[in-house]
Amino acid sequence: QKEVEQNSGPLSVPEGAIASLNCTYSDRGSQSFFWYRQYSGKSPELIMSIYSNGDKEDGRFTAQLNKASQYVSLLIRDSQPSDSATYLCAVNRGYGNKLVFGAGTILRVKS
């Protein structure tokens, strides 16, 4: 079992819909959780971080964390073609130095 798992996709949604991206992790000691967006040929860009159970909203993005279920998700409301990218989930074990990344989910928003 991989430490951080994501569905590779591609996830296809129509423009204006809600895109839901999911991530599970295996280390119960994980304390910090991050979502990165990566456009083709570019570097990962941090878009959301979440540290406690519940929802965190930032514009069209909402991160959801459930530590009991070891599950973190990213919702993108009113999806736009410019949201088409690979979304990487990253988990920080405890308060240590290393992030563990999932392999990413490809999102395609169709106009």
Partner 1 sequence: NAGVTQTPKFQVLKTGQSMTLQCAQDMNHNSMYWYRQDPGMGLRLIYYSASEGTTDKGEVPNGYNVSRLNKREFSLRLESAAPSQTSVYFCASSARDRGHNEQFFGPGTRLTVL
Residue 98 C-beta: closest distance to partner 1, Å: 6
Which one of residues 19, 62, 85, 104 is an interface residue with partner 1 (CB under 8 A)? 104
95 binds partner 1 (CB under 8 A): yes
44 binds partner 1 (CB under 8 A): yes
Nearest Cα neighbor of 62 from 49, 46, 71, 44 is 49
- CB-based contacts of 69, cutoff 8 Å, min separation 6: none
Residue 86 C-beta: closest distance to partner 1, Å: 10
Beta-ladder partners of 5:
24
Q: Which residue has the tokens 């999806």?
A: 79
61 binds partner 1 (CB under 8 A): no
